[in-house]
Structure 1
């Protein structure tokens, strides 16, 4: 069964960068945005959303966290790891009739963000990050925390996905601080196993010039499913012969740890357009 659809490129002679090359996109949330950026520069695109983001099913714990965050005067700092987390917390506060109080508390606490994305979500409600980590990684947050003073020992932490991020929590505890974590969303499979395996077969068929990863769960799902179904060798062979792009250092580090080479990472701004620019630059380099 063939399920991977090729999307016709738009006027390949009009714009420079890709010259009809085929790019696989595991992106879900901004798939059409990323695909459009590539198509307008002459690429062919394979849309293959591997994961989706859902509100955590444990809404009771989120509501409990919101109440403590709002009413506990000893909580003066909030670490925000993702823009998605900010948006999900605001939505949860709305559902539980706490949004005005939550926004008011957000305005009062020191907001420590992992990179620029939480700040973008905060700006939608008229707020900004007070501190931005030196690097958009957990290690960058930990490095930044070492430069800060804390007036209380309780620090709220918005996690990404269902991962507890023990390195960050342990770093806080090592400083005598008590993390107050919340996980407002989870990652779930977007494509069923058969469709992902079809994608792996397409990659192994040599029809794809590059694949662009925009999150860690995409990497894990593709590699783990290939391993489970005996296609890991074929996938790794295929990926060894194509350009591998990562939207930022967090994704690149995971790929590297899983034995996958990374050819392209944007230098400073870890968003869709810089990713496309970096891929195009790699393809057009002499």
Structure 2
């Protein structure tokens, strides 16, 4: 018998759904699409102002958290004919980075960060940043889809003054989809929920709080429904929401996550 036989897995992403469904089906499971990602809107109207601030060295520290965020800021600078000035400014700045995609994008621009996370997560970034004093310093905090509550709290606790830079703004996923997903979890109709990004985590728990079912949701994830994460960064977002049982692969890959879920069910003999 295949390892996911009889298991129903909700896919919360909005990309490559057919491919991921096939991976689940190859293990004997059934996949259903419940897109909880939300969608991107146009670039934030303040972005040009923020690019100008970055080129004028208005910040003591700059924290980049996503590769697409760096790319969008750079493309905006190109449109403003300020790309050379931006790169020159960033090369002189104190820069902290979360994620290999972010670091790779900066590397393409010949920018070397002063601080790099140790494991791809916000918690890993904070561990490395803790060696520095940011008291009274002005910090540019680039975010993308994830409010990063731990990072913002750390900056506040360390008496830093931060400005959020949002290369894109988001709109939440469809309410009818979220309502269906939440009811399926609460009613025990899903064996696993596959999270492939941190916004999916935030969106689900934010919706549950709106419906006053957050504690019920946590109970479901601890007693029946298995939270599956594509990697440790998204897993960290689940931990921050109070979910203790999270399955994820060592290397962040969708196929590896599905195999890890199959292995979990085999070992647990569920």
The question of a shared fold, defined as TM-score above 0.5 by the shorter chain, is answered with yes
Contact residue 35 and residue 177 of structure 2 kept, 8 A: no
| Structure 2 CA distance for aligned equivalents of residues 75 and 95 of structure 1 | 22
Given that 1:245 and 1:264 are in contact with CA atoms closer than 8 Å, whether structure 2 keeps it comes out as: yes
- Tell me, yes or no, if the aligned pair for 1:17 and 1:280 is still in contact at 8 Å: yes
With over 3 angstroms needed to count, the CA separation of the structure-2 counterparts of 1:168 and 1:94, relative to structure 1, is farther
Change (3 A) 1:77 1:232: closer
The aligned residue for residue 158 of structure 1 is 142
Q: How far did 1:188 drift?
A: 1.9
What is the TM-score normalised by the length of structure 1?
Answer: 0.70
Shift of 1:67: 0.9
Q: Distance in 2 between matches of 1:232 and 1:171?
A: 27
In structure 2, the residue corresponding to 1:46 is in which secondary structure?
strand
Kindly report which structure 2 residues correspond to 1:214-253, keeping only aligned pairs within 5 A, or say none: 214-226=196-208, 228-229=210-211, 238-239=220-221, 240-248=223-231, 251-253=234-236
CA distance in 2: counterparts of 1:227 and 1:76, whole angstroms: 36
User: What displacement does 1:169 show?
Assistant: 2.5
Using a 3 Å threshold, how does the CA distance of structure 1 residues 233 and 37 change in structure 2: closer, same or farther?
A: same
Q: Is residue 53–residue 185 contact of structure 1 (8 Å, CA) maintained in 2?
A: no
**2:195 pairs with one of 213, 229, 234:** 213
Contact in 2 for aligned 1:137/1:250 (Cα 8 Å) = yes
Structure 2 counterpart of 1:66: 51
What whole-Å deviation, never above 9, does each CA across 1:66-110 have from its counterpart, x for those lacking one?
1121132x7575321223322332343344443444345445545
Shift of 1:262: 2.0
Distance 1:195 1:180, change over 3 A: closer
Pair 1:226–1:161, CA change in 2 (3 A): closer
Instruction: List alignment gaps of at least 5 residues for structure 1.
Output: 1-12
- Runs of at least 5 residues in structure 2 that lack an aligned partner in the other structure: none
Q: TM-score, normalised by structure 2?
A: 0.73
Q: Which residue among 166, 172, 185 is the counterpart of 1:189? A: 172
Structure 1 residues 132 and 41, CA gap change in structure 2 (3 angstroms): farther
SS in structure 2 of the partner of residue 266 of structure 1: coil
State whether structure 2 residue 115 is matched by structure 1 residue 131: yes
**After alignment, is 84-93 or 37-46 more displaced?**
37-46
